[in-house]
Amino acid sequence: LESIEFTINIILSPSAPIVCTLLPFCTFKLEMVNALRRKPQKQSPLKIAAILLILVAVIFLVGDPFHPSASYLRSEEEEVDVVPEYSKKESIAKEDLVQEGRVFTFELGNLKGETTGSFTIRTRPSWAPLGVIQFHELVDSGFFDGCRFFRVVPNFVVQFGINGDPSIQSRWRKKIIKDDPVVTSNAQGTVTFATSGPNTRTSQLFINTNKKGNAFLDKQGFSPFAEVISGMESVDLINDEYKEKPNQGMIQNKGNVYLQQDFPNLSYIQRVKESSKL
C-alpha cells in the first residue's frame, strides 16, 4: 500500500514544511503558512480531523500547552554563575528522611479587607527532602519575614519568596538546589518551589489554591515539599488585585521599596514562627 499524504495548513508563520508520520500508511505533512500571504482555504472534514488528532497527541504527551497558567510558576531568575553545592544537602536530606518534618505558622498582613490572618504548614521530607532542607534553612534565617505575595492567580496559586532586601536576595539566588522527584501531586494546599528550569530551585515558592488541584504541574517537575494543615481561609484572602503585574527583576533589584511604591496593597508575611517539631 502506498502512504496517504495529507497537507494541513496551520496559519502561524512561514517555515519549512514539517513531516509527521502518525500511522503506518498515513503521512501528515504540516506546512506553516503566513495568514497575510495566503487567504484561508476551506478545510475538508478529513483535514480538520487530522489537525485535532495531532493536537490531542501533543496535549497527551507534554501536557496542555495552551493552559493560561503553565508559565506562571517559572521564576524569572537571571542566570547566576555558581556551581550548586548538592552533596551537603543530599547528605542532610538522607538523615531527614527518618524525620516527619517541622510545623511553621505564617502570620499575614494586609489581607483582603485590610485584615490579618495566618496559615500553618507542615514540611514533608519524604516528599522532597532537598526542598525541605532548603526551606528549613530559609525559615531559620528569617528570610520570609516581610516578603510580599507578588503573584496571585485566583483558583491556581499564590507565589512568594523574593526577599524585600536585595542584598539578602542576592545571596540566596546563589544557593541553588537540585530537583526532587515528584512523588505527590500538586493538590490544593501543597507548597512547592518555583523554578526557572531544571535544577534551579532557590527561594521562590507557591501554594496551590485550585480546589481540584494542579495535577498538570506534576508532569512539569514541580515537586511539593509541604502542605497547609490549617488556615487555607487566610490563604484565600491574600490580595489578588495585581495578579502577576509586579516585575520580578525590579523586586530583585529594589526589593520592597519598589513593591510598596507601585503595589501598596500586596499582602505580606509579617513573620514565621515554628509551632512545634514533630
Segment 109-134 shows an average pLDDT of 98
| Residue recorded with cell 521599596 | 257
Binned at pLDDT 50, 70 and 90, residue 15 comes out as very low
pTM flag (> 0.85) = no
Segment 161-181 shows an average pLDDT of 97
Q: What would the pLDDT profile of 35-87 be if each residue is shown by its tens digit?
A: 233 344 455 777 777 778 876 665 555 444 334 454 556 666 554 444 455 44
Q: Look at residue 76 in the predicted model and tell me its pLDDT.
A: 61
Q: Look at residue 256 in the predicted model and tell me its pLDDT.
A: 98
Q: Look at residue 100 in the predicted model and tell me its pLDDT.
A: 79
Q: Is the pLDDT of residue 124 over 70?
A: yes
Segment 86-90 shows an average pLDDT of 51
DSSP letter for each residue of 56-75: HHHHHHH--TT-TTTTTTB-
Q: Is the pLDDT of residue 89 over 90?
A: no
Rounded to whole angstroms, how far apart are CA atoms 93 and 99? 10
Q: Look at residue 42 in the predicted model and tell me its pLDDT.
A: 54
Binned at pLDDT 50, 70 and 90, residue 261 comes out as very high
In this structure, what are the phi and psi dihedrals at residue 134, rounded to the nearest 5 degrees?
-60, -45
Q: What would the pLDDT profile of 176-197 be if each residue is shown by its tens digit?
A: 999 999 999 999 999 999 999 9
Q: Is the pLDDT of residue 123 over 90?
A: yes
Q: Tell me what percent of the residues of the chain surpass a pLDDT of 90.
A: 63
Q: Is the pLDDT of residue 174 over 80?
A: yes
Q: What is the mean pLDDT of the chain?
A: 80
- HEC string of 171-187 equals HHCCCCECCCCCCCCCC
What residues contact 138, with CB distance under 8 A and at least 6 apart? 144, 161, 172, 203
C-alpha cell at 229: 494543615
Q: Look at residue 75 in the predicted model and tell me its pLDDT.
A: 65
Q: Is the pLDDT of residue 198 over 60?
A: yes
Q: Look at residue 51 in the predicted model and tell me its pLDDT.
A: 76
Rounded to whole angstroms, how far apart are CA atoms 194 and 203? 8
